[in-house]
Copies of this chain bind each other. A is one copy, B any other.
Amino acid sequence: MSGETNGKRIDRDDFLSGWTAIPQKVRAASPVVHCITNYVTAPWCADAVLAAGAAPIMADEPDEMAEIASLAGALVLNIGTLRHSRLTAMRLAAETAKRLARPIVLDPVGAGASRLRTESALEIVREFRPAAVRGNISEILALAGRGGETRGVDASPSELVGRRRLADGARLAASLAEKWRCVVAISGPYDIVSDGARTCAVGGGDEMMTRITGCGCMESALLGAYLAAEPDAWKAAVAAMALMSLCGQRAARAVRQAGEGTASMRIRLLDAVSLFTGGELTAADVKIL
């Protein structure tokens, strides 16, 4: 519940004051979230955004990007199943979002798996200054130029566990956050969220979340919804990660109890997102680092 920064004891509740209100703010404002995303997880991202009380719009035709992006409270760019035409749409939408000062989330799906993905993600970071970048450790390392090997779209489940790993992840997130001047969120058994000045680890979740497609994509889409309702991007990101961790944990427990499998995991996870009110956040395992 508390951490140490520069010798000063930090209380988690100071850092996160008011964050339990974010989910209700989203429902009250019901912001439009413009997602330019892959066709594998698009149905889940749309449903996740709706479950959180926001309104998804998934347009990706370059010709309508300026109009659609201007309707939206946030823009989510997800480079899964990236095509050049969709990248063109992303650039146009991001220009509008940047001009109108709307928050942009970048989900660098598969960065490191192809030059196109790594370079496209870095171009977006450079040109359009996202409010937040959320990926798994392989993807974030690829963007940091420390790629090495990514198997594509999944993080190795044992990454970032253990105290030393956590410290490494925190340093990585903080340095990239400072460099890119945005929030960096690294998903894993512990999620790391940093804006350079503030860094925390969010525990919880469940291994079963890695066995359904698009948990990361949904998290990024939900982060878009949260950013549209909460001006403090770091707080919004911690809340979005904690939301998914708590809902994933609850869903996995129910699935195991009922002897169900991964498809039920998805249903229970989305159900939990739709029933989430915000107060549950006080139970989240958040460590200020």
A-side interface residues toward B, CB under 8 Å?
32, 38-44, 46-47, 50-51, 55-61, 63-64, 67-68, 71, 80-85, 110, 113-117, 151-154, 211-214, 259-264, 266-275
Given contacts A50-B262, A261-B273, contact A63 B84 (CB under 8 A): yes
Chain B neighbourhood of A266, CB < 8 A? 47, 263
Give chain B nearest CB distance to A249 CB in angstroms.
15
Known pairs A32-B151, A64-B82, A71-B152. 7 more at Cβ < 8 A?
Answer: A40-B42, A40-B58, A46-B213, A59-B110, A63-B84, A260-B271, A262-B274
Bound complex: CA of A162 vs CA of B262, how far in Å?
36
Chain B neighbourhood of A272, CB < 8 A? 261
- The 7 A-B pairs of least Cβ separation, nearest first, read A261-B271, A64-B114, A263-B270, A261-B274, A262-B274, A39-B39, A46-B213
Given contacts A60-B81, A67-B114, A263-B51, contact A274 B38 (CB under 8 A): no
Contact B58 A38 (CB under 8 A): yes
Query: In chain B, what residue has the closest Cβ to A273?
Result: B261
Give chain B nearest CB distance to A23 CB in angstroms.
13
Q: Which listed residue, B42, B59, B80, touches A114 by the CB 8 Å rule?
A: B59
Q: Which listed residue, B67, B83, B211, B274, touches A51 by the CB 8 Å rule?
A: B211
Query: In chain B, what residue has the closest Cβ to A271?
Result: B261
Chain B neighbourhood of A83, CB < 8 A? 60-61, 85
Chain B neighbourhood of A113, CB < 8 A? 57, 59, 64, 67-68, 71
Query: In chain B, what residue has the closest Cβ to A35?
Result: B40
Chain B neighbourhood of A275, CB < 8 A? 259, 261
Bound complex: CA of A47 vs CA of B85, how far in Å?
26
Q: Which listed residue, B32, B61, B213, touches A56 by the CB 8 Å rule?
A: B213
Given contacts A80-B58, A212-B50, contact A71 B151 (CB under 8 A): yes
Contact A152 B55 (CB under 8 A): yes
Bound complex: CA of A171 vs CA of B43, how far in Å?
35
Bound complex: CA of A72 vs CA of B63, how far in Å?
31
Contact B64 A152 (CB under 8 A): no
Give chain B nearest CB distance to A250 CB in angstroms.
11
What are some 28 contacts across the A-B interface (CB < 8 A)? Answer: A38-B58, A39-B58, A40-B58, A47-B212, A47-B213, A50-B211, A50-B212, A51-B261, A51-B263, A55-B152, A55-B154, A56-B213, A57-B113, A59-B82, A59-B110, A59-B113, A59-B114, A60-B81, A61-B83, A63-B84, A64-B113, A64-B115, A68-B114, A83-B85, A261-B270, A261-B271, A263-B266, A263-B269
